[in-house]
């Protein structure tokens, strides 16, 4: 397989994959392109390579910067901005976990806390089932939160150690 073929395959597959993670195709593709680029790229180059519009490129680059997955770089003698991706995949994974935890787990916990306050008596079947579900959900989500919060503080080697200890 030729380099260009492999590159296109990776970018396109990463784009498809992104969709199932709630990340837009373009954002995933910009990320993929920067991940495999040895040098930082300008918005112009990204647009041309991926055949996407200026607006799209700009928006997705900004989002990737917000996610902490891409950095702005200053190239001496060049006026325009260049961008490069975080290449340490473990850091990338941690960043993604961190962002999703903040965006998804925190709101669930807030919601569940709120919903526990529902009025009702213990003898009402529906009320009981509701409280049970909310309580059990909270317990599981709390544990996931705990695990993820700790995981993003580990380095990759420590994680490996932990995994082996855990599932020996």
Site residues, a second copy (CB under 8 A) = 1-3, 5-7, 9-10, 13, 17, 19-22, 35-38, 87-90, 92-93, 103-104, 107-108, 111, 114-115, 117-120, 124-130, 132-134, 136-137, 139-140, 143-144, 146-147, 150, 156, 159-160, 162-163, 165-167
Long-range contacts, stretch 53-59, CB < 8 angstroms, 24+ apart: 56/26, 57/26, 57/30
Beta bridge mates, 70: 85
Alpha-carbon gap, residue 44 to 41, rounded angstroms = 8
The 102-141 site mask, x for binding DNA (CB under 7 A), equals: ----------------------------------------
Least distance CB 80 / a second copy (angstroms):
22
Least distance CB 64 / a second copy (angstroms):
15
Q: How many residues does the chain have?
A: 168
Rg (CA), the chain: 21
């Amino acid at each position: 397989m030729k380099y260009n073929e492999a590159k296109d395959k990776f970018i396109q597959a990463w784009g498809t994959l992104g969709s199932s993670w709630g990340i837009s195709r373009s954002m995933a593709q910009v990320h993929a392109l920067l991940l495999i680029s040895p040098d930082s790229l300008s918005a112009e180059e990204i647009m041309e390579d991926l055949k996407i519009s200026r607006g799209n490129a700009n928006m997705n680059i900004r989002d990737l910067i917000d996610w902490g997955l891409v950095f702005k770089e200053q190239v001496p003698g060049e006026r325009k901005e260049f961008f490069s991706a975080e290449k340490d995949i473990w850091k990338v994974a941690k960043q993604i976990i961190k962002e999703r935890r903040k965006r998804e787990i925190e709101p669930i916990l807030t919601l569940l806390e709120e919903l526990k306050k529902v009025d009702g008596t213990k003898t009402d079947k529906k009320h009981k089932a509701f409280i049970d579900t909310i309580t059990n959900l909270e317990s599981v989500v709390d544990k996931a939160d705990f695990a993820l919060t700790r995981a993003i503080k580990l380095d990759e080697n420590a994680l490996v150690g932990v995994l082996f200890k855990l599932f020996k």
